[in-house]
Amino acid sequence: MKHSYLVVLKILVWIGCLCPLLLLAYRAVGNALGPDPSAEIASVTGLTALWLLASGLAITPVRSLSPRLNWLIRFRRLLGLFVFFYATLHMLTWLGLYAGFDLNTIKVDLTKRRFIIMGVTTWLLLLPLAATSTTWAIRKMGGKNWNRLHKLVYVAGLSAMVHYWWKVKPGVLSPAPFTLVLLLLLAVRPVLAWVQRRKVQAARRARAVIG
């Protein structure tokens, strides 16, 4: 893809990723966050983090459909950093608006409410990924170690899913679409790895015949 197209796409992705925050701020200024503004802020930031996480996970399978889609890889880091950004805003909403930065309330939540424990676990899983997202970190760690560490994103996806299911009331199915998408993305990975291995083996055999 042409460099100029990539720049335009990058700007569009930035705008798209910032839209939920700007809309939230706009509604907050207009006093239009509904009867429970804290819950609304937690909902928008949580859902945005969740779906950006799924979008980042979708990049590898979508890329494998055609080599012409290789440019998508350039957006994975940006999406990942926005996941962490929204997850952190979401966590700060809990710390500030739910717990009022009161250590006792935070302690009770962290020991008694399993969905909060799972939320914090998810955030802690995302933290090393965001911290090692720089080119410097990739070089320092080496590609293999970096790739190994970044497999944590799947665990973070699963724990975010559990956090969501544990948060909603029994019988509420709002986490189902994310769950389906996540499980599909996880299931497709070993298939892609197998196809890739077959391609490499076929190429080796072809080279051996020619050689």
Q: What is the token pair recorded at 182?
A: 């996540």
Q: Does 106 bind ligand HEM (CB under 6 A)?
A: no
| Residues contacting residue 75 through CB under 8 Å, at least 6 positions apart | 9, 10, 13, 59
Q: Does 165 bind ligand HEM (CB under 6 A)?
A: no
Q: Does 122 bind ligand HEM (CB under 6 A)?
A: yes
**Whole-number minimum distance, CB 83 to ligand HEM, in Å?**
6
Q: Does 146 bind ligand HEM (CB under 6 A)?
A: no
24: closest CA among 115, 93, 81? Answer: 93
Q: Does 17 bind ligand HEM (CB under 6 A)?
A: no
Beta carbon nearer to ligand HEM, 140 or 151: 151
Stretch that binds ligand HEM, among 14-22, 65-73, 130-138, 162-170 (CB under 6 A): 162-170
What gap in Å lies between CA 74 and CA 9, rounded to an integer? 10
Helix locations, 64-175, DSSP H: 76-93, 103-112, 114-131, 135-141, 143-149, 152-167
What gap in Å lies between CA 124 and CA 107, rounded to an integer? 17
CB 129 within 8 A of CB 80: yes
Q: Does 76 bind ligand HEM (CB under 6 A)?
A: no
Cα torsion 44, 45, 46, 49: sign:
positive
* The binder of ligand HEM chosen from 58, 90, 182, 185 (CB under 6 A): 90
Beta carbon nearer to ligand HEM, 36 or 193: 36
Q: Does 42 bind ligand HEM (CB under 6 A)?
A: yes
Q: What is the token pair recorded at 168?
A: 């909603």
What gap in Å lies between CA 34 and CA 4, rounded to an integer? 42
Beta carbon nearer to ligand HEM, 80 or 119: 119
**Whole-number minimum distance, CB 116 to ligand HEM, in Å?**
5
Binding footprint of ligand HEM on the chain (CB under 6 A): 39, 42-43, 46-47, 49-50, 53, 87, 90-91, 94, 98, 116, 119-120, 122-123, 160, 163-164, 167, 174
